[in-house]
Amino acid sequence: MNIKTEIEDPISSETIYVLRIAAGREFADIVQAMLETLGYSPTSWHEEDEDSATVEVFCDCKQDVKTLKQQVEELLAELSAGNRWNITIESIQGNSWRDAWKEFFHTTRVSSRIVVKPSWEFYEEEAGDCVIEVDPGMSFGTGNHATTRGCLNFIDELSKEFAGNSFIDLGCGSGILSIAAAKLGLSDIVAIDIDEVSVGIAKENAELNGVGGKIDFRVANLEAPGIEKSADIVCANILAHILVKYADIIVGLVSDDPDAKLMLAGILTEEYGSVRSVFENLGFKQIKSIEDDEWTSGLFDR
């Protein structure tokens, strides 16, 4: 079910718009992952013992939030499969929205070496830490979602054993995975996303973290990724049905080197077996999987 909400014209330059999606908890997880693949940083919460959850995205432009709403409505219509959801837009005046982030987003150790922090918090680095500074906002992924955490853990592990290997990031969103790869010593990094705005902000985020010159960000889709050279490590953090649809193209981007690796994420645990089977039929075998909340991420080789 879809609820339409009109927006009043902004009263001040500090007006922020919130796209809010209410759904069942399991489907809300899918919504959150979908928004992350679009390059946004959704927040979500649910009441204890309640089966419903709320997902929000902040935008600073009235037209942008209307465009996003239309895009999300179209995607949810395809994905919902009987799941009920409501989508609304609310405008917030003043600076209170900025301070609200500070309540929800804090420095987090995501893996043995990777630490994600906002600019407003001080973090005293430990030896060997890879610190990625990200301020949550309209188009920043923060590494808080289970699918992103799974990929960051795989990148941490692989970069220790295969320093200098090439890396492809399919559906890069905010660029956080490519930034981690660059900071941990992987090379020849190509990151693509279908959304031009996401790619632009991913570039800014990479510059903020000092690796802007090490990542080739491109606007492209999986149907025609336009990547000329295969890579030693390929990461596809996308929704399950997209992974299956473009499986042949994804595996074609993995080099023939016997040590080459493929990361698959964005998969609900209940869907993981079927996705795994598709890629096993294409010649890959699972090395390891990470189950986090209701999501499973897998690491494969040939």
The CATH fold of domain 153-301: Rossmann fold (3.40.50)
Distance (Å, rounded) from C-alpha 141 to C-alpha 193? 13
Using an 8 Å Cβ cutoff, are 42 and 137 in contact? Answer: no
Q: What is the pLDDT of residues 207-221, one digit of tens each?
A: 999 999 999 999 999
Percentage of the chain lying above the pLDDT 90 cut: 48
Q: What is the pLDDT of residues 234-291, one digit of tens each?
A: 999 988 989 999 999 999 999 999 999 999 998 989 999 999 999 999 999 999 999 9
**Which residue intervals of the chain bear CATH 3.40.50.150?**
153-301
Whole-structure pTM value = 0.75
Q: What is the pLDDT of residue 71?
A: 87
pLDDT over 80 (residue 47): no
Q: What is the pLDDT of residue 14?
A: 64
What are the residues whose beta carbons fall under 8 Å from the beta carbon of 100, sequence distance 6 or more? none
- 3 state SS of 105: coil
Q: Between 156 and 121, whose confidence is greater?
A: 156
The CATH fold of domain 16-101: Alpha-Beta Plaits (3.30.70)
**Which residue intervals of the chain bear CATH 3.30.70.120?**
16-101
Tokens of 203: 């570039």
Alpha helices of the chain — where are they, by DSSP H? 25-37, 62-79, 96-104, 146-161, 176-183, 196-208, 240-245, 247-252, 269-281
Average pLDDT over residues 185-207: 90
At 82, the pLDDT band (50, 70, 90 cuts) reads confident
The interaxial angle of helices 176-183 and 146-161, nearest 10 deg, is 20
Percentage of the chain lying above the pLDDT 70 cut: 86
Q: Between 81 and 233, whose confidence is greater?
A: 233
At 100, the pLDDT band (50, 70, 90 cuts) reads low
